[in-house]
Amino acid sequence: MRYIATAATALILLSSSVMFAAPKRYMIITNSAISRSEPRSSSDPTGQKLGFGSIIFSDKLIRNDTDFDFLEIAGEPPRYVPFEMTIEVPSVSLSHDKKSITTDSDEGLPLLYIPKDLLPVNSMYSFSEERILVKKTMLKDLYSLLQAAKKNGHTLFVANGFKDLQTRIREYEEAISRNPKQRAVPKPVFSSFATGLVIDITDEATGMNFEHEVKNDKAWKWLHENAPRYGFRSGGKTYRFEYSGEKSRRSVTPGPTFAETINERIEVPSICTIHVLKTATNKKASFMWVHHNEKSAGKTLKYALSEYKGHSLYISNNDKRNLYLSYGRRNYFIDPNRIFTARGVSKFLTRHHKSLSRKGRKSLTKRITDIRETILTSIDWHKNKYLIVLHSSRPGSDFSIEEFNRKNSYLTYTNPDHNPKNLFFTTSLQDYYFFKSKQFNVVYQRSIEDDGSLSIYAAKNNLPYINIEVEEGNDEVQKKMLDLAIECVNQQFKEKSL
């Protein structure tokens, strides 16, 4: 089988193909997966609708950055089905009573299973107008937990419990219709809500908006410390808990882990989550990790938190570099380090999304502006406090200090004994000379060519800024560079005080 893309199609898809040695078996997990004539959601439907449980075979996966990934189904002409609407199953069979699906690995999937002992949560503890069902075995401990919370000044409610298959399918379909690359809502067959042992908790201040913002930090801190005493453990999100029945005799004191330092999660629905972290107040520097796929930068942020106790922020985007915003039937990407000026956003949309209509451009610009303002107002950054930003580039990328050596708008110092991908980027001439004196690769941004980056925003607003760039995998090098950046910050503060 072959798929021959025209140049125009290739630009639209930004895709890559993966061939399998032999056809694989997939099962449809949505109510209706419409096959397409081409591997993009805007192409013509072929007229074939595949319902939940349908089996297809494919030996080719076509990946897209801004659309669904597509499986190619053999035939003349070939048909394409969204990969996100399927799961791979080596072999699948439905039980005679249609209550479970198993694969030939004997792993049961919670598809049609409904627990027998479901009971509704008492209305005084329920935030929803509809009945919330949970396993009977949970209720006594759940009520005890909520009563204990109230005695400690926290009035909490149950927002979600058991979800049947159709509810899980509907919520998943709605999520992928907004953003095919979303990861917030699990595939229906993998949702823990099928067990009846998982709940979401909220309070009056947060309401049903708990997925977007948990507003009462003290309540959630108390809840995570005390839930194990009643048989509950964290379900991976601030507001989600799983019941195991295994009780701790005492409250759990959170350890100094990365996740537990999060004070606030700001959800931008179907796009990203902005995490704001604090361990203590550092009056000289804050820290930021911009691209979620840059894992070395993320590890250095953990180090910054543990060693320098600063206010920090990072953007969670399912391990991707770009943010994806939907408009109409398509998704449009933007680099989160190109959103910090209006001109930068405009230039990016013009360069990468030329076919976007004026109305679409206006809509995306407004949403990007809202994200920018949310990020900027969440950073502890002012004219007397540095922001240290962390980046790590792919080993195969062209990025290095050589890129800046060729441009007149930058002043550079290169140490030939150092990896050219490891460098400091500054907006202050004083900082530039400090790093140069330490014989590290360093770039000074001496003119403002507005590309929407955070360094441009810093320069325009006279805000202290240092960017530490390393090649992915150079974790220890970046930690040492962070130590040096803190030394630089301390020296500048010392000089100001003289």
Report whether pLDDT(261) > 60.
Answer: no
Would you say residue 110 has pLDDT above 90?
Answer: no
State pLDDT tens for residues 160-214: 999 988 999 999 999 899 888 887 788 888 788 888 999 999 888 777 776 555 5
Rg (the chain; Cα; Å): 26
Q: What is the CATH number of the domain that holds 372?
A: 3.40.630
CATH of the domain at 216: 3.30.1380.10
Domain assignment present for 428: yes
pLDDT at 257 over 60: no
| Chain segment 9-67, per-residue pLDDT in tens | 333 334 467 776 678 889 899 998 999 999 999 898 987 788 888 899 998 999 887 78
Query: 295 is written with which tokens?
Result: 């894992």
Work out how many domains the chain is built from and give that number: 3
- The pLDDT of residue 415 is 95
Looking at residue 253, what is its pLDDT? 45
Identify whether 107 is part of a domain.
Answer: no
Rounded to whole angstroms, the Cα distance separating 424 from 201 reads: 44
**Residue range 403-409: mean pLDDT, rounded:** 84
Whether 361 and 434 share a structural domain: yes
Q: Are residues 381 and 233 in the same domain?
A: no
Q: Pick from 205, 235, 254: which residue ends a domain?
A: 254
What is the separation, in whole angstroms, between the first and last Cα of the chain? Answer: 73
Helix and strand numbers (H, E) in the chain are: 11, 27
Whether residue 152 is predicted with pLDDT greater than 50 in this model: the reply is yes
Q: What is the pLDDT of residues 423-441, one digit of tens each?
A: 999 999 999 999 999 999 9
Residues 83 and 164 in one domain: no
Q: How remote is the C-alpha of 237 from its chain's centroid?
A: 13
Measured CA to CA, the distance from residue 328 to residue 305 in angstroms comes to: 41
Q: For residues 358 and 218, state if they share a domain.
A: no
Question: What is the average pLDDT across 328-345?
Answer: 93
Residue 449 lies in a domain: yes
Averaged confidence pLDDT in the chain: 84
Which three-class secondary structure state does DSSP give residue 199? strand
Question: Looking at per-residue confidence, does 244 or 335 come out higher?
Answer: 335
pLDDT of residue 277: 84
The token pair that represents 396 in the structure block: 């195969």
Residue 206 to residue 266: CA distance in whole angstroms: 12
200 and 318 inside one domain: no
Domain contains 34: yes
Range of the domain at 27: 7-93
The verdict on 344 and 428 lying in the same domain is: yes
pLDDT at 98 over 50: no
CATH code for the domain in which residue 51 is found: 2.30.30.40
* Stretch 280-296: mean pLDDT: 91
User: CA 195 to CA 118: how far, in whole Å?
Assistant: 10
So what's the pLDDT on residue 211?
Answer: 59
The string of pLDDT tens digits covering residues 445-482 is 987 789 999 999 999 999 999 999 999 999 999 999 99
All residues at 6 or more sequence positions from 437 whose CB lies less than 8 Å from its CB, including other chains: none
Mean pLDDT of 390-394: 94
Please check the confidence at residue 258 and state whether its pLDDT lies above 50.
no
Q: So what's the pLDDT on residue 212? A: 54
Whether 255 has a pLDDT exceeding 80, the answer reads no
Looking at the domain assignment, is residue 105 inside a domain?
A: no
How do the residues of the chain divide into helix, strand and coil, expressed in percent and rounded to 5?
A: 35, 30, 40
**Calpha distance 421→441 (Å, rounded):** 9
What digits encode the pLDDT tens for the residues 410-422?
999 999 999 999 9
* E runs forming strands in 121-214: 133-135, 156-160, 198-203
Shared domain check, 408 and 293:
yes
Rounded-to-integer distance, Cα 300 and Cα 17, Å: 33
pLDDT score at 16: 62
Claim to verify: residue 300 and residue 416 sit in the same structural domain: yes
From 14-28, 122-136, 175-189, 363-377, the region with the lowest mean pLDDT: 14-28
CB-count burial class (<10 Å; 0-12, 13-18, 19+) for 117: exposed
Q: In this predicted structure, what is the pLDDT of residue 235?
A: 78
Same domain flag for 432 and 370: yes
> What pLDDT score does 2 carry?
31
The pLDDT of residue 11: 32
